[in-house]
Chains A and B, each alone.
Chain A
Amino acid sequence: MARTRREILVGGAAALGWATFGGLERAAAAALRGATAPATNTVVVALNLFGGNDGLNTVVPLRQYPRYRQLRPTLALARNRLLPLAGHAQDFALNPGMRPLARLFAAGKMAIVNGVGCPTDAQGLFDHEASQQNFLTGQTWGSAPPTAPSGWLGRYLDRLAPASLPGGIDFSGAPLLLSGESASPLSLNSINGFGVYPSDDFEARYAAYARLHAGAAAPGVAARNRALRQQVLALGGELQAISDGYAVAGGVTYPPTYLAAALRDCAALIAADRGVRALAVGHGGFDTHAGQQEVSDTTPYHEGLWLTAAEAIDAFYADLVGHGLASRVLLLVFSEFGRRAEENSDLGTDHGLAAPLLAIGDPVAGGIYGDYPDLSAGRLVLDGNLDVSVDFRRVFATVLARHLGVDPVPILGGDHTPLGFLG
């Protein structure tokens, strides 16, 4: 019995025979492959590291190494295992799990923005939920937002003309980032197998299903359900065709992880060029209160998280390059907060403040931006935390102004000086 269960779990929709259908869609998919995208359609992919990434063990400040060791007697990464950063070997080094990212940095394709965070007088600073909300909305309402918050990328999407696919597609489970006043992102697990394909009496049932959702529905929950099923009807076939028709660039292999699968879908959607301009993917497990360096499968826990992320990003970037799409795409890697400077008694770190943020891709002017927070006792803030040197909204203003080509002021509700990481 357990085996059956595992089989259907592994097989997923394919086990139901739903993922394979129609010659028509396949023909459309074949046509897609020939399409070339204009280079002006810029796209942002946001990678949300859920749980609060330990920035201090991600980009290690070598000039403050003795103090770092003092704060982290057991969790400090050994100097000889750290990955040097090309051109900054005396200043900073990366977590050993980030090897592919060290290569991207050396190639000038990655910017590190140090000291990014929410202003320290905001509310809910150490609370996952409020801090996620701050990063997704680009606001600092903290724990008391207005009733209908919108995401900073969602407010950008509001300004775009409608296209065949929604402007925002979410694979992260945190669609707020891409939800605007009017823009409503499509939330998916995968572009493969999304749709409704009744097992029996297919044509009659499918037609009746479409009719059920064509008319009006009572306002509220019923109407929302109807609208979602209209999306399923309208987009299921198109997304399946995009998925079936997408060929990963030669020589590129995505690792077998959820994050990599989502990034592969992002690449397919960007290549299809049907109006998708902002995508969100997620990678969880960064809430390292305990056993942060506990070794499983030869890799310490936090390093393993980065290894998964770095390998997926590496494949995604190579795939974009292979398809000639890299100049259009910016990948932004962020987390809701960093972690406490000092380790706790459980070989972990508690919720903190500032942390580095990564911007990756061909549009990026690689290098180091922002001041690394001072770790000395007198310079830590709010009871032992890394101070914020770069207001997180300056990063978003940079992306809006320099990559997406829109005025950030109305979107962010204020003037936040852009940084130089997009040239």
Chain B
Amino acid sequence: MIMRAALVALTLLLAAAGPTQAGGGAAPAPQSLGAARAQQRLLAGHLLRRIGFGPDRREMHEVLRLGRAAYLEQQLHPDTVDDRLGERRFHPEPGSDDGGEEWQLRWLTRMTYSRRQLQEKMALLWHEHFATSYGKVGSYALMRDQERLFRAGALGNFRDLLVAISTDNAMLIYLDNTYNNGQAYDENGDKIPPNENYARELLQLFGLGVNALNLDGSLVLDGRGRPLPAYTETDVKEVARALTGWIAHYPEDADEEDPSAVIAPAEFAEWAHDPGAKVVLGEVIPADSERGARDVERVADIIMAQPTTAPFISKILIQKLASETPSRGYVQRVATVFATSRGDLRAVVRAIVGDAEFTSPAVVRAEVKTPIEHLVGALRGLGARGGANSLYYWTSVTGHLVYFPPSVFSFYRPGQKGALLTAAGVALRDQATDSIVTGLADRGFDAVWDAPGMLRRYRLAHRPAVAVDLLARELLAAPLTAATRQVLLDYIGPQVSDAKLRGAAWLLMCAPDYQVN
């Protein structure tokens, strides 16, 4: 323990003492060394806030040691990142007697403590994109399986993700595609139409979007300046026919669910599939009464071949990882990679993060934090421990609890993180950080921040300015505004007590400086 504390302190000293790597290119002039170092730290923090859930000491050190490009490459190959230390701090997997919320707690602590930050960010991104709620699915085991699908496919191919989610048990239940019967007839022998719910959302939200888009994400307009639709009502009905026949597996006993249960994948039933030919977005899926299960792959291929798909998905990824208001050029550059790589998500994320716009002043520290980014980032910045219950409670009341998006339109729409930023919402965020810095274990809030340890290790008792700058360094990884700094110094006064250190940390997380991602 002492050993680790000493190591951390040493790391910090080294980072403060000077650049730990030569880096490429010309060495900065001596008088701008400080500024160059500050800029490096700013961009390292930026990278960690966007491809993960914000800086902690270890990852900050890693980015500065490896350089941003090499760090990104490592994160793009999560299997190469040794995560044994992180895993020890994940909330344990539930046993058969536990409640299924344990899976949610495990995910929240993964976001907080995993070193595979990009993989976790992408898993959350896909959960937000393919929004599915326990509220209707009714099985934590199935939500866990879907979460695993998102983690495994986080940086894979988008086409494969479309096929996998279309046949995922939880999604089949959530959007009613399970038991969607393509061979149902009424008493007069007329065919009863299939359920359109999943087909519509697959086109509207998941794969294509409402409007036809140019490669740069702008609307394709008709002669009268009206946007052209990306698909028609007929396409919805035809996709619904193509996706008939899939049957989800439910846990055996939904009322007394064993959250550790292993659930079989969904099955395809030829008898419930509409075998006739379909015309989807102008492409014919030929009649086939023996291999109907392949229709879902054909639908995914047709979606992937639409010119709108590359800018539609690319823009959503940019909006979640970089900027909610990207330039057309940015969208076009990323969409080009999406199109030429045929949906290779690793290449797409590399293009987003490697783009010059990613580190432009209009993007760095200019975005809204989601509640998860706000609160998980707080625990990471403070170097706190535990926090599973705290995160569960506070993400729940701020409308960002995993497994519980309010509808298929998710917690917020792409480009509208601001919808999560309400007066009630910010009050709750500030209540949440209050509970984290205060340590309210007796009331069920289990995040633990070792404020006394920080006071001791850095000998802060008589050094309020050092305390404020240290907090800013850890929590912001960016320069602190003079106004906020002064409020914190005035609040602390001449002596940094335990209560004053905690109060200053809370105030910093309530300040305008901390709200920008």
Interface residues in chain A, defined as those with a beta carbon under 8 Å from any beta carbon in chain B: 1-2, 4-5, 7-9, 12-13, 15-16, 18, 50-51, 73, 123-124, 126-130, 143-144, 173, 175, 186-189, 194-201, 204-205, 208-209, 211-213, 215-218, 220-226, 228-229, 231-232, 235-236, 284, 287, 289-290, 342-346, 348, 350-351, 382-383
Contact = CB atoms under 8 A, between A and B. Distances in A.
Interface stretch (B34-42, B297-305, B439-447, B465-473): B439-447
B392 A5 contact: yes
Give 3 closest A-B pairs by Cβ, nearest first. Answer: A187-B422, A289-B197, A290-B176
B233 A382 contact: yes
Interface stretch (B52-60, B185-193, B261-269): B185-193
Contacts of B347: none
Given A201-B500, A222-B515, A5 B483 contact: no
Nearest to A235: B423
27 contacts: A5-B101, A16-B440, A73-B187, A126-B200, A130-B210, A144-B211, A173-B399, A188-B422, A196-B427, A196-B430, A196-B434, A196-B510, A200-B499, A200-B502, A201-B503, A209-B510, A212-B487, A213-B512, A218-B516, A221-B515, A228-B426, A229-B426, A235-B423, A284-B406, A289-B175, A290-B176, A290-B195
B367 interface: yes
A127 B186 CA distance: 27
B513 A222 contact: yes
Given A13-B431, A128-B409, 16 more contacts: A2-B101, A144-B227, A173-B406, A175-B422, A186-B423, A187-B423, A196-B510, A212-B487, A221-B516, A284-B406, A289-B176, A289-B197, A344-B194, A346-B179, A348-B195, A382-B233
B133 to A, nearest CB: 11
Interface in B355-387: 366-368
A126 B232 CA distance: 11
Interface in B393-429: 393, 396-397, 399, 406-407, 409, 413, 418, 421-427
Contacts of A186: 423-424
Contacts, number: 207
Contacts of A7: 444
A346 to B, nearest CB: 4
B153 to A, nearest CB: 26
Contacts of A225: 421, 426, 512, 515
Max chain B CB contacts within 10 Å: which of A9, A201, A216, A346?
Answer: A346
Contacts of B422: 175, 187-188, 228
Contact of B368 (A73, A213, A221, A290): A221
B432 to A, nearest CB: 10
A47 B194 CA distance: 31
B235 to A, nearest CB: 12
Q: Decide if the interface of chain A is mainly helix, strand, loop or mixed.
A: loop
Interface residues of B, number: 79
Given A205-B507, A284-B406, A221 B427 contact: no
Given A2-B99, A224-B418, A144 B200 contact: no
B435 A16 contact: yes
B219 interface: yes
A13 B229 CA distance: 46
Contacts of B204: 127, 129
A229 B503 contact: no
Contacts of B490: 208, 211
B389 interface: yes
A208 B389 contact: no
Contact of A9 (B393, B407, B426, B434): B393
A143 B227 contact: yes
Contacts of A12: 397
B424 A222 contact: no
B503 A200 contact: yes
A208 B487 contact: yes
A197 B434 CA distance: 9
A289 B196 contact: yes
B315 to A, nearest CB: 15
A7 B442 CA distance: 12
B181 interface: yes
A7 B446 CA distance: 13
Interface string B203-217: 010000011000000
B435 to A, nearest CB: 7
A119 B295 CA distance: 35
A419 B421 CA distance: 38
A201 B487 CA distance: 15
B196 A222 contact: no
Contact of B195 (A143, A188, A204, A350): A350
Interface string B495-517: 00001101100110011110111
Given A209-B507, A213-B512, A345-B184, A289 B406 contact: no
Contacts of A73: 186-187
Given A1-B389, A130-B210, A187-B424, A345 B195 contact: yes
